[in-house]
Protein backbone atom coordinates (compact mmCIF):
# COMPACT_ATOMS: atom_id res chain seq x y z
CA UNK A 1 0.00 0.00 0.00
CA UNK A 2 2.89 2.32 0.73
CA UNK A 3 4.29 1.85 -2.75
CA UNK A 4 0.94 2.75 -4.31
CA UNK A 5 0.76 5.89 -2.19
CA UNK A 6 4.29 6.85 -3.23
CA UNK A 7 3.45 6.32 -6.91
CA UNK A 8 0.25 8.39 -6.67
CA UNK A 9 2.08 11.13 -4.79
CA UNK A 10 4.89 11.16 -7.39
CA UNK A 11 2.34 11.45 -10.20
CA UNK A 12 0.57 14.36 -8.46
CA UNK A 13 3.85 16.19 -7.86
CA UNK A 14 4.93 15.70 -11.50
CA UNK A 15 1.55 16.94 -12.78
CA UNK A 16 1.63 20.08 -10.63
CA UNK A 17 5.24 20.80 -11.68
CA UNK A 18 4.27 20.46 -15.36
CA UNK A 19 1.34 22.89 -15.05
CA UNK A 20 3.42 25.47 -13.15
CA UNK A 21 6.19 25.25 -15.78
CA UNK A 22 3.80 25.89 -18.66
CA UNK A 23 2.06 28.73 -16.82
CA UNK A 24 5.40 30.46 -16.26
CA UNK A 25 5.72 30.96 -20.03
CA UNK A 26 2.11 31.92 -20.63
CA UNK A 27 1.21 35.57 -21.26
CA UNK A 28 -0.49 37.19 -18.29
CA UNK A 29 -4.05 38.15 -18.98
CA UNK A 30 -5.23 41.59 -18.01
CA UNK A 31 -8.91 42.25 -17.76
CA UNK A 32 -8.81 45.80 -19.09
CA UNK A 33 -8.59 47.84 -22.29
CA UNK A 34 -5.68 47.37 -24.68
CA UNK A 35 -3.56 50.51 -24.23
CA UNK A 36 -1.00 49.78 -26.92
CA UNK A 37 -0.70 52.50 -29.55
CA UNK A 38 -1.57 51.36 -33.02
CA UNK A 39 -2.33 53.17 -36.26
CA UNK A 40 -6.05 52.79 -35.47
CA UNK A 41 -6.22 54.28 -31.98
CA UNK A 42 -4.04 57.39 -32.34
CA UNK A 43 -5.59 60.81 -32.56
CA UNK A 44 -4.33 61.28 -36.12
CA UNK A 45 -6.12 60.39 -39.31
CA UNK A 46 -5.07 56.84 -40.27
CA UNK A 47 -4.29 57.76 -43.89
CA UNK A 48 -1.64 60.41 -43.17
CA UNK A 49 2.00 59.97 -42.09
CA UNK A 50 2.37 60.47 -38.36
CA UNK A 51 5.75 62.17 -38.12
CA UNK A 52 7.98 64.36 -40.29
CA UNK A 53 10.26 61.36 -40.87
CA UNK A 54 7.29 59.36 -42.20
CA UNK A 55 6.42 62.19 -44.59
CA UNK A 56 9.77 61.67 -46.32
CA UNK A 57 8.52 58.29 -47.46
CA UNK A 58 5.22 59.74 -48.73
CA UNK A 59 6.14 62.53 -51.17
CA UNK A 60 2.48 63.21 -51.99
CA UNK A 61 1.81 64.20 -48.36
CA UNK A 62 4.47 66.91 -48.60
CA UNK A 63 3.29 70.33 -49.69
CA UNK A 64 6.20 72.34 -51.05
CA UNK A 65 6.29 75.00 -53.69
CA UNK A 66 9.35 74.79 -55.86
CA UNK A 67 11.17 77.89 -57.01
CA UNK A 68 11.63 77.66 -60.79
CA UNK A 69 15.46 77.86 -60.91
CA UNK A 70 17.90 79.03 -58.26
CA UNK A 71 21.13 80.42 -59.72
CA UNK A 72 24.18 79.85 -57.51
CA UNK A 73 27.75 81.07 -57.85
CA UNK A 74 29.61 79.10 -55.14
CA UNK A 75 33.32 79.37 -54.48
CA UNK A 76 35.18 76.47 -56.07
CA UNK A 77 37.98 74.70 -54.23
CA UNK A 78 41.02 73.27 -56.00
CA UNK A 79 41.32 69.52 -55.41
CA UNK A 80 44.08 68.40 -57.77
CA UNK A 81 45.63 68.15 -61.22
CA UNK A 82 44.51 65.75 -63.97
CA UNK A 83 46.03 64.44 -67.15
CA UNK A 84 44.61 66.00 -70.32
CA UNK A 85 42.36 63.24 -71.64
CA UNK A 86 39.63 65.07 -73.56
CA UNK A 87 39.09 63.66 -77.01
CA UNK A 88 36.60 61.71 -79.10
CA UNK A 89 35.72 59.26 -76.31
CA UNK A 90 36.29 61.43 -73.20
CA UNK A 91 34.14 64.52 -72.53
CA UNK A 92 35.73 67.90 -71.89
CA UNK A 93 33.97 68.24 -68.53
CA UNK A 94 32.81 65.47 -66.15
CA UNK A 95 30.99 65.49 -62.82
CA UNK A 96 31.62 63.01 -60.02
CA UNK A 97 30.08 62.23 -56.67
CA UNK A 98 26.91 64.24 -56.18
CA UNK A 99 26.22 62.95 -52.65
CA UNK A 100 23.22 64.33 -50.77
CA UNK A 101 23.57 65.49 -47.18
CA UNK A 102 21.44 67.51 -44.77
CA UNK A 103 22.88 70.38 -42.76
CA UNK A 104 20.72 70.29 -39.56
CA UNK A 105 18.50 73.35 -39.26
CA UNK A 106 19.71 74.72 -42.59
CA UNK A 107 19.63 73.23 -46.09
CA UNK A 108 20.21 70.11 -48.12
CA UNK A 109 23.59 70.19 -49.82
CA UNK A 110 25.63 68.26 -52.33
CA UNK A 111 29.31 68.60 -53.19
CA UNK A 112 30.18 68.17 -56.86
CA UNK A 113 33.62 67.19 -58.10
CA UNK A 114 34.13 68.72 -61.53
CA UNK A 115 36.93 67.55 -63.79
CA UNK A 116 38.21 69.72 -66.65
CA UNK A 117 39.74 67.09 -68.93
CA UNK A 118 40.88 69.60 -71.57
CA UNK A 119 44.03 71.67 -72.05
CA UNK A 120 42.08 74.98 -71.93
CA UNK A 121 40.22 76.80 -69.16
CA UNK A 122 36.43 76.37 -69.18
CA UNK A 123 33.46 78.41 -67.99
CA UNK A 124 30.69 75.97 -67.16
CA UNK A 125 27.14 75.70 -65.86
CA UNK A 126 25.83 72.66 -64.00
CA UNK A 127 22.14 71.91 -63.47
CA UNK A 128 21.07 70.04 -60.31
CA UNK A 129 17.57 68.81 -59.52
CA UNK A 130 16.65 67.99 -55.91
CA UNK A 131 13.74 65.52 -55.88
CA UNK A 132 11.57 63.52 -53.50
CA UNK A 133 9.81 60.50 -54.94
CA UNK A 134 10.34 61.79 -58.47
CA UNK A 135 8.81 65.21 -57.74
CA UNK A 136 11.10 68.22 -58.19
CA UNK A 137 11.63 70.14 -54.95
CA UNK A 138 14.23 72.59 -56.29
CA UNK A 139 16.14 73.18 -59.52
CA UNK A 140 19.58 74.78 -59.15
CA UNK A 141 21.85 76.20 -61.84
CA UNK A 142 25.47 76.42 -60.70
CA UNK A 143 27.73 78.89 -62.52
CA UNK A 144 31.40 77.89 -62.26
CA UNK A 145 33.64 80.35 -64.11
CA UNK A 146 37.24 79.73 -65.04
CA UNK A 147 38.01 76.08 -64.32
CA UNK A 148 41.72 75.87 -65.09
CA UNK A 149 43.03 73.35 -67.63
CA UNK A 150 43.46 69.74 -66.45
CA UNK A 151 42.05 70.54 -63.00
CA UNK A 152 39.70 68.87 -60.53
CA UNK A 153 37.65 71.18 -58.30
CA UNK A 154 34.91 70.75 -55.69
CA UNK A 155 31.81 72.92 -55.62
CA UNK A 156 29.10 72.98 -52.91
CA UNK A 157 25.51 73.24 -54.17
CA UNK A 158 22.71 74.27 -51.82
CA UNK A 159 19.31 72.63 -52.07
CA UNK A 160 16.00 73.38 -50.37
CA UNK A 161 15.59 73.82 -46.62
CA UNK A 162 15.72 70.60 -44.58
CA UNK A 163 12.05 70.86 -43.62
CA UNK A 164 11.37 69.93 -47.27
CA UNK A 165 12.32 66.29 -47.71
CA UNK A 166 14.69 65.31 -50.51
CA UNK A 167 15.73 61.78 -51.41
CA UNK A 168 17.84 62.35 -54.51
CA UNK A 169 19.90 64.91 -56.38
CA UNK A 170 20.60 64.59 -60.10
CA UNK A 171 23.26 66.82 -61.68
CA UNK A 172 24.18 67.31 -65.33
CA UNK A 173 26.50 69.53 -67.38
CA UNK A 174 24.58 72.34 -69.12
CA UNK A 175 27.54 74.15 -70.69
CA UNK A 176 30.17 74.07 -72.27
Each residue's pLDDT tens digit, 75-114: 999 999 988 887 778 888 989 877 899 899 899 999 999 9
pLDDT tens-place string over residues 133-153: 888 889 999 999 889 989 999
Contact 154, 148 (CB under 8 A): no
Q: Which fold has domain 64-175?
A: Immunoglobulin-like (2.60.40)
Q: How many CB atoms lie within 10 A of CB 159?
A: 25
User: Is the model's pTM score more than 0.75?
Assistant: no
Domain ranges of the chain: 64-175
Handedness of CA 113, 117, 119, 125 (dihedral sign): negative
Amino acid sequence: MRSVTRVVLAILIAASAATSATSAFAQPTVAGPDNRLTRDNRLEPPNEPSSPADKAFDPNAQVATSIPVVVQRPAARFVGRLAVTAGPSVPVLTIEGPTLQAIPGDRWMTVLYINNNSAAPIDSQIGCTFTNGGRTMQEARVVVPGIAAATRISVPVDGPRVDVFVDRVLCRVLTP
